């Protein structure tokens, strides 16, 4: 039996950091939503008690550094499963992009392995296991749109943004999430208008949603990598309705109401940046 799971990318509509915690993590408040850019994973049982990962993408590790490997191992240990699993990972989400690709693969693996071995775990149980792998994993288990607090693992579901296009561009640079968080400074921080963004979601008010987008990590990443700002300003000039860096970056996205405009922004960025996507928001 082969089980298939889709692992969609996320974008941060807002990302605020409230304070640094004693455990080294930062207390956050962020609005996240899934988009129609997804990895595809398949799962098959193995007689031998091992986890095997296969992926054609040379940037993705196929050993225990892979978050999907960690997810499969954790769930096998916790439920004392003695059979193994072969995971095939068809990678479509750009790697180290701020789009939670690895976290979403881990979440899809928790769902897939749970189904493969008939564990019948609830979403809450999968989220709880996911939090042991990474802060973004519980959201990726849940999907849709949510307010994430704590270190990102406490979730309140929200209505998804009104239907629109999302154009994304990832400059060819690597950004370490840990490094970006380590540079957070609270003086002069410009906090995003999270409450207004939540009410824009509730009222399905696309215009207000676009004006409330905000990410306190953006100035940190752009100060290290000015090319992120160049992409942002190009998206703004070509008519993006709301433009922001996702997560710790470096991917910049633009929400766009009209398809023709999304095409225009996509084409204008193609000559400038090697990884550009135009996708729909997931409802």
Ligand X SMILES: Nc1ncnc2c1ncn2[C@@H]1O[C@H](COP(=O)(O)OP(=O)(O)OP(=O)(O)O)[C@@H](O)[C@H]1O
Using CB under 6 A as the binding rule, the residues of this chain from 228 to 257 that contact ligand CDM are: 247-248
Using CB under 6 A as the binding rule, the residues of this chain from 82 to 141 that contact ligand X are: 95-103, 105, 136
Q: Where are the alpha helices (DSSP H) in 48-190?
A: 67-78, 101-116, 123-133, 137-142, 177-182
Q: Give 67 or 255: the residue with its C-beta nearer to ligand CDM.
A: 67
Q: Give the Cα separation of 257 and 240 in Å (integer).
A: 9
Going by the DSSP 8-state scheme, the letter that residue 282 receives in this structure is P
Is residue 135 within the footprint of ligand CDM (CB under 6 A)?
yes
Residue 249 has which token pair?
């970056």
Contact predicate 36/282, CB 8 Å: yes
**Partner from ligand X, ligand CDM, none binding residue 152, C-beta < 5-8 Å depending on class:** ligand CDM
Q: What is the DSSP string of 253-270?
A: EEEESSHHHHHHHHHHHH
Q: Give the Cα separation of 147 and 126 in Å (integer).
A: 18
User: Quick check: is 10 catalytic?
Assistant: yes
Is residue 36 within the footprint of ligand CDM (CB under 6 A)?
no
By CB atoms closer than 10 A (0-12, 13-18, 19+), residue 80 is exposed
**Partner from ligand X, ligand CDM, none binding residue 26, C-beta < 5-8 Å depending on class:** ligand CDM
Q: Give the Cα separation of 115 and 109 in Å (integer).
A: 10
Is residue 152 within the footprint of ligand CDM (CB under 6 A)?
yes
Among 76, 151, 225, 234, binds ligand CDM (CB under 6 A): 151
Which phi and psi angles does 128 have, rounded to 5°?
-65, -45
User: Quick check: is 20 catalytic?
Assistant: no
Is residue 103 within the footprint of ligand CDM (CB under 6 A)?
yes
Q: How far is the CB of 181 from ligand X (least distance, A)?
A: 10
By CB atoms closer than 10 A (0-12, 13-18, 19+), residue 28 is buried
If one counts every other C-beta atom within 10 angstroms of the C-beta of residue 233, the result is 12
Is residue 28 within the footprint of ligand CDM (CB under 6 A)?
yes
Q: How far is the CB of 143 from ligand X (least distance, A)?
A: 15
Question: Of 39, 105, 136, 241, which one is the catalytic site residue?
Answer: 136
| Count, residues near ligand CDM per rule CB under 6 A | 18
Residues that bind ligand CDM (CB under 6 A): 12, 15, 25-26, 28, 30, 100, 103, 134-136, 151-152, 177-178, 181, 247-248
Residues labelled catalytic: 10, 136
Chain contacts with ligand X (rule: CB under 6 A):
60-61, 65-68, 95-103, 105, 136, 177, 247-248
């Amino acid at each position: 039996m082969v089980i298939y799971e889709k692992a969609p990318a996320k974008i941060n509509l807002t990302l605020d950091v409230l304070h640094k915690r004693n455990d080294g993590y930062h207390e956050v408040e962020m609005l996240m939503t899934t988009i129609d850019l997804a990895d595809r994973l398949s799962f098959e049982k193995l007689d031998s008690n091992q986890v095997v990962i296969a992926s054609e993408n040379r940037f993705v590790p196929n050993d225990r550094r892979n978050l999907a490997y960690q997810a499969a191992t954790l769930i096998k240990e916790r439920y004392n499963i003695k059979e193994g699993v072969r995971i095939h990972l068809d990678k479509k989400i750009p790697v180290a992009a701020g789009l939670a690709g690895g976290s979403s693969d881990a979440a899809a693996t928790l769902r897939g392995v749970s189904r493969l071995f008939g564990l019948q775990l609830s979403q809450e149980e999968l989220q709880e296991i996911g939090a042991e792998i990474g802060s973004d994993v519980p959201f990726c288990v849940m999907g849709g749109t949510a307010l994430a607090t704590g270190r990102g693992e406490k979730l309140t579901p929200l209505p998804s943004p009104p239907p629109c296009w999302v154009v994304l561009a990832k400059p060819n640079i690597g950004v370490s999430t840990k490094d970006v968080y380590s540079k957070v400074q609270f003086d002069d921080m410009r906090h995003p208008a999270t409450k207004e963004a939540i009410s824009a979601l509730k009222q399905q008010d696309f215009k207000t949603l676009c004006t409330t987008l905000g990410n306190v990590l953006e100035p940190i990443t752009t100060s290290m990598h000015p090319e992120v700002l160049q992409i942002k300003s190009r998206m703004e000039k070509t008519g993006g309705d709301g433009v922001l860096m996702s997560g710790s970056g470096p991917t910049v996205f633009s929400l766009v109401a009209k398809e023709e405009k999304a095409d225009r922004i996509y084409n204008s960025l193609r000559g400038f940046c090697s990884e550009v996507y135009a996708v729909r928001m997931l409802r």
